[in-house]
Structure 1
Amino acid sequence: MEFLECLPEECLKSLTSLESLHISGCTRLTSLSLGMQHLSSLLHLSIGDCQKLDLSKDESGNFLDLQGLQSLQFVVIFNLPKLASLPQWLLQLSNLERLRISDCVNLKAIPHQIEALQSLQWLEIFDCPSLTSLPEGMRNLTSLTHLKIFRCPELEERCKRGVGEDWYKIAHIPNLTHELDDYS
């Protein structure tokens, strides 16, 4: 759907039983629709390869509020050049168990509010070279059992076991993996 510029709200309203949604390759898509809040059964959301997509704003340019997505358990975000920080609606998903972020070259920050994701068990961050540190909120993610970081050079250095500047934020996570572990 290379010519899709917005997701029609009318179509999304009738998809209340939809459990999985994959949005990819929509090169002209600039925002998600407020209609997504009607996807109350959505468990898995994958969004990527959308060069103009801004996950934080709706079609009117207002901050996107997707309160209806509370069933979401797994979110994959990949190759979104406009992503500089995780959107607020994502940080309000109380049932989110897995989050994978990859190929977001301009991602500079994971907000402290990530601590609100108390059900988060898996966090994977791949190919996000502009991400240089983790927030203090990581310490409060007590359900987080798996953290994988690959091809994020500065972040990997800061998360180096026992000596990295951010190590204390993630030391409680039982399963940690990053490339620098191989060279320790």
Structure 2
Amino acid sequence: MEKLKIVGCNSLVALEGAQSLGSLRVMSRVLDWKRFGSTDYYFLTVSFCKHLTSLQRLVLDRSWYFDEDINVSGGLTWEQALQLLTSLQELFGYCRGLSDLPVGLHSLPLLKRLEIIDCPSISSLPESGLPPSLEDLEVRDCSEELTEQCRMLATSKLTAIIDGRYVY
């Protein structure tokens, strides 16, 4: 299996058979906006993430109807998950309730694309910065502070798309 998309599952606690996910390259979790209640990322456990050795693209999608932060307290912290997901090349966060980007974001050695969409509570990039491998950064519908900080990062090596416009 190369792609896994989890749709409308509000109480996913674990994914069984994680050992068979070694070839998984794309994983996304899209929550059904019609379902309300507790939504979490408890499945991001050490045993699960250790099997995602080929994961290149991770999409974390939260309906804008939810305001709470992504909760990984039952599993791993963002930093712990990122330490295990070192094959990531693309990370997409559509998370209205997310208040901070993971501190360990800079430690993803292969990350080439980062999208931060509809995250108005995030006011800045992590102090440790972004990975040197990053080539594409897209920021849309975020705070003015984050938007301006990302606008300043545009270089010949890093393409920045801010609110739908290329920044050079």
Q: TM-score, normalised by structure 1?
A: 0.69
Counterparts of 1:159 and 1:131, CA distance in 2: 12
Structure 2 equivalent of residue 39 of structure 1: 21
Letter in 1 for 2:45: L
Residues 77, 49 of structure 1: CA spacing in aligned structure 2 closer, same or farther, 3 A cutoff?
A: same
Structure 1 equivalent of residue 45 of structure 2: 64
Do the aligned residues in 2 keep the contact of 1:146 with 1:174 (CA within 8 Å)?
yes
Shift of the alpha carbon at 1:33?
2.9
Structure 2 residue runs of 5 or longer lacking an equivalent are: none
Structure 1 equivalent of residue 140 of structure 2: 150
Q: 2:114 aligns with which of 96, 104, 123?
A: 123
Do the aligned residues in 2 keep the contact of 1:157 with 1:180 (CA within 8 Å)?
no
Shift of the alpha carbon at 1:136?
2.5
Shift of the alpha carbon at 1:145?
0.3
Question: RMSD of aligned C-alpha atoms?
Answer: 2.9
Structure 2 equivalent of residue 178 of structure 1: 162
Counterparts of 2:116 and 2:99, CA distance in 1: 12
Counterparts of 2:31 and 2:100, CA distance in 1: 20
Structure 1 residue runs of 5 or longer lacking an equivalent are: 1-17, 162-166
Residues 151-166 of structure 1 mapped to structure 2, 5 A cutoff: 151-154=141-144, 155-161=146-152
Do the aligned residues in 2 keep the contact of 1:124 with 1:147 (CA within 8 Å)?
yes
Counterparts of 2:128 and 2:51, CA distance in 1: 24
Q: Considering Cα pairs closer than 8 Å and 6+ residues apart, tell me whether 1 or 2 has the greater RCO.
A: 2
Count of aligned pairs: 152
Q: Does 1:78 align with 2:61?
A: yes
SS at structure 2 position matched to 1:45 = strand
Counterparts of 1:182 and 1:21, CA distance in 2: 31
Do the aligned residues in 1 keep the contact of 2:56 with 2:90 (CA within 8 Å)?
yes
Letter in 2 for 1:142: P
Do the aligned residues in 1 keep the contact of 2:151 with 2:160 (CA within 8 Å)?
no
Q: Per-residue CA shift, 1:91-140, capped at 9, x if unaligned?
A: 421111111111x111011122112211000001111111111113324x
Identical aligned residues as a percent: 30
